[in-house]
Copies of this chain bind each other. A is one copy, B any other.
């Protein structure tokens, strides 16, 4: 096929390979989701359908990209971690980032009806993405911890705020003023004293976000165990999680075949035992 005289413009493209031997994190983040959740009347502070739709979209991304070893999301954001030695798309950052944000976004619309049967999607939402490299396992764990610590801070605040507004009858700005400068302990106290809410009894998914990992599982009536994507709603800051799921960080040199197994999303009752 003859090359046109215009083809020289390709030389303006830039290589952008990610540094070798680093964890590659792609984080997607909803654009203007404050407005999006208002228009679609999401429940406050947490809309279960909305959170599950986020997770369903994230699972779709993990199904497509087998080199993602763990994902973590809450609110309108999700982080995806590609294993250290992935050679997917020759580690080109643009490819990894744009495909994750693209597939996440199209999945969000695609699965909307499964989570909002009565509610029409009014417009196409979008998610920006960024890509960050972490050289060591510790750096990566600190990144994950940072995101989960963020869930805690935000969710405690939001739980208080919306209790004050929805149950306490305050206006938004009154609630904001009430909470300004309060410590975590004071927010816990407000929840308990005024609304009889023990924050620690709130659903883990709200307090800890959703972690997605791959686990081998044996299903009833099946001989072979299968590698499935499982949600986990517990702590990922302490060592326990990483010790019990030691393969996440080790998977860095896992043979490609490992991922050729059928992958499916399993949100079972027995997730705790599974995570053993």
What are 29 pairs between A and B in contact, CB < 8 Å?
A2-B153, A4-B146, A4-B149, A6-B142, A6-B146, A9-B134, A12-B19, A12-B132, A14-B19, A15-B15, A15-B17, A21-B134, A28-B102, A31-B102, A60-B124, A64-B126, A94-B129, A97-B98, A99-B101, A102-B102, A102-B104, A102-B127, A103-B105, A103-B124, A106-B106, A106-B125, A107-B124, A109-B109, A109-B110
In the complex, the answer to whether A139 meets B104 with C-beta atoms within 8 Å is no
A188 at the interface (CB under 8 A from B): no
Q: How large is the interface on A (under 10, 10 to 19, 20 to 34, 35 or more residues)?
A: 35 or more
What separation, in Å, do the CA atoms of A125 and B102 have in the docked complex?
Answer: 8
The interface of chain A, by Cβ under 8 A from chain B, is 1-2, 4, 6-15, 17, 19-22, 28, 31, 60, 64, 94-95, 97-99, 101-111, 121, 123-136, 139, 142-143, 145-146, 149-150, 153, 157
**In the complex, residue of chain B having the shortest beta-carbon distance to the beta carbon of A15:** B15
Q: How many copies altogether?
A: 4
A123 to B110, CA, bound (A): 7
User: In the complex, are the beta carbons of A99 and B135 less than 8 A apart?
Assistant: no
| A111 partner residues in chain B, CB cutoff 8 A | 124
Please, how many angstroms separate the alpha-carbon atoms of A20 and B111 in the complex?
38
Q: Which residues of B contact A110 (CB under 8 A)?
A: 109, 121, 123-124
Contact B142 A8 (CB under 8 A): yes
Q: Which 8 A/B pairs are nearest by Cβ-Cβ distance?
A: A135-B135, A6-B146, A98-B129, A103-B126, A110-B124, A106-B124, A109-B109, A105-B106
A20 cross-chain contacts in B, Cβ below 8 A: 11-12, 135, 139
Residues of B within 8 A of A99 (CB): 31, 101, 126-128
Are A6 and B106 within 8 A (Cβ)?
no
